[in-house]
Amino acid sequence: MITKHDSHYVGGEFVPARSKERVPVVNPATEEPFAEIVDGDAADVDAAVQAAAAALNAWAAVPATERATYLRRLADRYEERADEIAALVTRQNGTPISVSRAMVSQVPLNYRYFASLAEALVEEEPVQASLGDAFVRRAPVGVVGAITPWNGPQPLLAWKIGPALAAGCTTVIKPAPETSLDAFLFAEIATEAGLPAGVVNVVTGGRETGSALVEHPLVRKIAFTGSTVAGKAIAEACGRDLKRVTLELGGKSAAILLEDVDLEAFKPFVATACSPNTGQICRSLTRVLAPRSRYDEVVEAVGAAMSAIPQGDPTDPANIFGPLVSERQRDRVESYLELGRQEGAKVAVGAGRPAEFTQGYYVEPTVFRDVTNDMRIAREEIFGPVLVVIPYENEEEAIAIANDSEYGLGGGVFSPDRDRATDVARRIVTGTIGVNSASFPMEAPFGGVKNSGMGRELGPDSLEPYLELKTIFRSF
């Protein structure tokens, strides 16, 4: 049975959509549609933006310490429904339930962190001035459009909504069409947390819905996570209207294995750092750089680690890999598998469809060897469980290969010698990089350079894009 959602969340309630167009929501593990959402039009977007604009002055006038209280309530209500949200995310995009639960468990921590930033916000601050008396006021930038992707919908929403609300902005959320149902749950949670009507709004739909939100004259800030192609179009549109924009885009990050790497210690990172969420994470370390002196050994270890990752029904907590999000995404990944063969790379592991699955958008975990950094499979984001292993002669060449990319989102350096690995990490041109680690702290900024985006989320700096500075000066 298909559940039909004919409403958007506007002004604190679910209201019938203007648009008559609908988008199916398909379970990627079964290939069966199970829900239907509205493909919102410009009128739907306008209603949501108008509601956010109407609520802006009152919300901005709420003291930042009180806004922190709302964020903590949001975190509390979220925790109560975390299992429900995780199950729905798994059904929508095929993320294994163990991964969904891990992602969702971080969301309340994010909202509480942003609450702490709100409490620390200095809304007016005196400055020393040579002429007269002056102070700087930090005010919310205005209505924020938050456009989120399907691969990590709830954490990436928190990274946008959290600082926006902390700063005193009101918001319009446009989730990915594949994962819109969990956005409705978030809207319910916002109501349960007592957020004033219009502070949070949700409009569902596809590309045109997003374009209408980006181009709306009352929206003063866009926060987007998604593809580089879409991000460039959004940046261009925001530039025309001089809107603020934060973009977290694609990646083709490198895992540099130094010559002294302990391969047994590295193997767990194949799932958690190199191919998390079935390879559908922008910061995945999909280029494994191996010392030529140990190349065959590294290929064997990486291939064994990929082959050992349990894949199957995403509702089974034992599975770490599930299906890809859609048939279109599977077709894209399979086109790169064929391209890799044509380019002369050799398949070490996988590169097909798992024979045991008769339905679902599954692709075998894949490792290519004999890869050079000029091959397209080494340069373009594939967004699936596909790793390439590239040899290097010495440390300088490893750094050069890692930096020879149009992207700069993530990265990793692996060695028992942490100081040496850290020195290498300092020389990689990227926004975030780990040393013997797959995780990053929410207290530090996250984002990319080059074609991986602009601006930062998380950390204390994440509040700045949502604040406007006003200097007020007075005579003595």
* 178, 274, 282, 364: the active-site residue: 282
Q: Which two tokens stand for residue 103?
A: 């992602």
The answer to whether residues 408 and 430 touch, using CB atoms and an 8 Å cutoff, is: yes
Which residues, 6+ apart, have CB-to-CB distance to 80 below 8 Å? none
Asked about 79 being catalytic, the answer comes back as no
Q: How far is CA 3 from the centre of its chain?
A: 27
Asked about 238 being catalytic, the answer comes back as no
User: Distances from the Cα of 122 to the Cαs of 114, 133, 159, 234, 468, in angstroms?
Assistant: 14, 18, 21, 31, 13
**The total number of residues written for the chain in this structure:** 476
Q: Which two tokens stand for residue 37?
A: 């959402």
User: Distances from the Cα of 182 to the Cαs of 56, 92, 160, 176, 461, in angstroms?
Assistant: 25, 9, 16, 10, 28
Report d(CA 225, CA 283) in Å as an integer. 12
Task: Give the burial class of 61: count Cβ atoms within 10 A of its Cβ; 0-12 exposed, 13-18 middle, 19 or more buried.
Answer: exposed
Which residues, 6+ apart, have CB-to-CB distance to 306 below 8 Å? 270, 275, 349, 350, 365, 366, 367, 385, 387
Q: Dihedral of CA 366/305/86/207: which sign?
A: negative
Per-residue three-class SS string for 328-356:
HHHHHHHHHHHHHHHHCCEEEECCCCCCC
Which residues, 6+ apart, have CB-to-CB distance to 81 below 8 Å? 185, 188, 189
Per-residue three-class SS string for 366-403:
EEEECCCCCCHHHHCCCCCCEEEEEEECCHHHHHHHHH
* 178, 215, 248, 457: the active-site residue: 248
Residue (of 390, 160, 375, 157) closest to 274 by Cα position: 390
Task: Give the burial class of 2: count Cβ atoms within 10 A of its Cβ; 0-12 exposed, 13-18 middle, 19 or more buried.
Answer: exposed
Q: Which two tokens stand for residue 226?
A: 């998604």
Active site residues: 248, 282
